[in-house]
Amino acid sequence: MTFLEMLADAQQRNRSMLCVGLDPEPSRLPGRMAGDASKIHDFCARIVDATADLVIAFKPQIAYFAAHRAEDQLERLVMHIRQVAPHVPVILDAKRGDIGSTAEQYAKEAFERYGADAVTLSPFMGFDSVQPYLQYRGKGAFLLCRTSNPGGDDLQNQQLAGLPGQPRLYEHIAKLAQTHWNTNGQLGLVVGATYPAEIERVRQIAPTVPLLIPGIGAQGGDAIATVKAGWRANAPIVVNSSRAILYAGKGDDFMDAARDAAMKTRDQLQAARGG
């Protein structure tokens, strides 16, 4: 299946818009795993086992693996997801953004080495930095648009005086993702849950592309406002929660605690869209 087909299948099968972000910090691992970077795979695999029937996607953040020389553990983790949840897509959170020849290597890393179904990208070097990822037919790419961090205002919320209507930069990115750049229907957008009004604006500009929405849980985004602003019947939203689920438990019961937190969030999101 293509990435979009996998999203639709996981959404229906698991009745979910919830994405669990896999951002393992060795110092926060529970119980006897605490402080042991060699246990990153084991911890994340148990989180996957506990939540596989509750999610629309899993989103490993590559920096949390690479910083601890755990790239091989990330490869094993993606294989584990394929085994226990073959219908759930994997979004590699890498936020890559570089010139075309280098982007080709990053695309190979994401889709061939790690076997991801989609990847997050920075679009600020232009379309030629995005295009190599789109050569992988059926894969997805989420462009940073209106991110959840406060510093996003520094660039994303600035008006572009040289364009008709003087759109803000994030509005222009949303338009490109909906139209000129999205030739094969592979693009989505990253929009933070901390800005529900901007989610709604992005959805007006880009009514059919999938939205990856981080920022609920530990970052304080409102789950109900997020769904009301972004969900449409013909365009999926992928609402990410990481720390609030990963570290819901600190002891040997961490799998049960993670499942409980994921189920509560999944159900809250579903209720906001009316079941």
Residue 274 has pLDDT above 90, yes or no: no
Beta strands in 97-231 (DSSP E): 118-121, 140-146, 187-191, 211-213
Sign of the dihedral defined by the CA atoms of residues 159, 162, 167, 169, in that order: negative
pLDDT tens column, 159-194: 999 889 999 999 999 999 999 999 899 999 999 988
Q: How many Cβ atoms are within 10 Å of 72's Cβ, its own excluded?
A: 10
- Average pLDDT of the residues in 132-148: 96
CA gap 134, 177 in Å, rounded? 12
CA gap 90, 201 in Å, rounded? 27
Taking alpha carbons only, the member of 67, 53, 56 closest to residue 23 is 67
For 170-192, b/e burial (b = at least 16 CB within 10 A) is bbbbbbbbbeebbeeebbbbbbb
CA gap 74, 66 in Å, rounded? 9
Contacts of 112 (CB under 8 A, 6+ apart): none
Q: What share of the chain is helix, strand, coil (3-state, %, to 5)?
A: 50, 15, 35
Domain interval for residue 137: 3-272
HSE-up of residue 213 (Cα within 13 Å, Cβ side): 35
pLDDT at 206: 96
- In angstroms, the Cα distances linking 87 to 6, 81, 187, 210 are 6, 9, 20, 17
What SS3 state is found at 185? coil
Is 175 annotated in the active site?
no
When the pLDDT of each residue in the chain is averaged and rounded to a whole number, the result is: 94
In 89-180, alpha helices (H) = 100-108, 131-134, 169-178
Helix (H) or strand (E) holding 7: helix 3-14
Band (216; pLDDT cuts 50, 70, 90): confident
pLDDT tens column, 234-272: 899 999 999 999 999 999 999 999 999 999 999 999 998
pLDDT tens column, 115-129: 999 999 999 999 999
CATH of the domain at 30: 3.20.20.70
Q: How many domains does the chain have?
A: 1
Among residues 39, 59, 95, 264, which one is catalytic? 95
Residue 232 has pLDDT above 70, yes or no: yes
Tokens coding 234 = 């013909």
Residues 216, 218, 223, CA angle at the centre, nearest 5°? Answer: 20
Tokens coding 156 = 């994303």
Contacts of 37 (CB under 8 A, 6+ apart): 26, 68, 69, 70
Helix (H) or strand (E) holding 239: strand 237-241
- Average pLDDT of the residues in 195-204: 93
Min mean pLDDT across 2-11, 50-59, 139-148, 230-239 is at 230-239
Sign of the dihedral defined by the CA atoms of residues 127, 132, 137, 142, in that order: negative
pLDDT at 194: 85
Tokens coding 69 = 């020389």
Band (218; pLDDT cuts 50, 70, 90): low
